[in-house]
Amino acid sequence: MAVPKKKTSKSRRDQRRSHHYVTTGQAESCSNCGETKQRHHVCFSCGYYRGRRVIAHNPAA
């Protein structure tokens, strides 16, 4: 089995992990209700996607 010759230092390890973050992605406003929603996702407020209702209407919105 291949075994690392040297211990990975805390600095090296943490530098490698510096890219392991997640981003929220692109946000835009819904064309139907104006609520902020994620791009290419159904609007959670009104349930519309591309001008069409695709999930049941939320009476609270």
| Contacts to Zn ion by CB under 5 A | 30, 32-33, 35, 43, 45-46
* Least distance CB 29 / Zn ion (angstroms): 8
Report residue 45 as tokens: 């407020």
* Least distance CB 20 / Zn ion (angstroms): 33
- Of the pair 6, 52, the CB lying nearest Zn ion is at 52
* Least distance CB 55 / Zn ion (angstroms): 11
User: How distant, in Å, are the alpha carbons of 22, 47, 52 from that of 44?
Assistant: 21, 5, 13
